[in-house]
């Protein structure tokens, strides 16, 4: 990713702002679109809180769509560059055949139970830590897991903003 300052972002027109920030929330440029009018932002914290508010105020169907935009962890399908880098930092791009099979089974069970993929800010985590979290969270209630997944989406967005902004 290119590096920007908060001042750079504040100076962008709406189209450029959405182009730069549209992937902060996985393939959900609507979050950046709805955040643009709140400029100028004082800091990364301010921008992130605005984006969190946009998601929080969105209808549940839109938040579910946001969750469903995320790829399965450890899957070998096409994904955004950001997701690919995050998963690689956790070693999910080089799982053993047994680990891969376990992740696929857990992903399928999780998706069947909750209707969206397991989401975790995995940057620099290990496959063992991620697997343990999957096994623990699969026992959550639907409401608790919906909140937990959204919290993780916000953590991912925060990490992406920190990487983007100098």
Q: How far apart, in whole angstroms, are the C-alpha atoms of residue 8 and residue 66?
A: 26
Active-site residues: which are they?
70
State the helix-helix crossing angle for 127-137 and 97-114, rounded to 10 degrees.
30
* 27 φψ region: left (φ > 0), alpha (ψ -120 to 50), beta (else): left
Name the burial class of residue 145, with classes exposed (0-12), middle (13-18) and buried (19+) by CB atoms within 10 angstroms of its CB. Answer: buried
Secondary structure tally for the chain: helices H, strands E:
9, 0
Nearest to 21 by CA among 73, 71, 64, 82: 82
């Amino acid at each position: 990713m290119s590096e920007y300052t908060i001042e750079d972002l504040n100076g962008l027109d709406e189209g450029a702002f959405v182009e730069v920030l549209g992937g902060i929330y996985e393939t959900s440029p609507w979050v950046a679109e709805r955040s643009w009018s709140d400029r100028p932002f004082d800091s990364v914290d301010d921008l992130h809180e605005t984006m969190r508010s946009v998601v929080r105020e969105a209808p549940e169907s839109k938040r579910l769509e946001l969750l469903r935009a995320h790829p399965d962890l450890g899957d070998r399908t096409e994904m955004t560059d950001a997701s690919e880098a995050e998963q690689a930092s956790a070693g999910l791009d080089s799982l053993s055949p047994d680990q891969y099979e376990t992740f696929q089974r857990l992903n399928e069970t999780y998706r069947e139970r909750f209707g969206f993929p397991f989401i975790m800010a995995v940057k620099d985590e290990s496959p063992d830590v991620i697997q343990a979290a999957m096994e623990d969270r699969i026992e959550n209630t639907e409401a608790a897991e919906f909140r937990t997944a959204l919290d993780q989406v916000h953590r991912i967005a925060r990490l992406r903003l920190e990487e983007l902004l100098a």
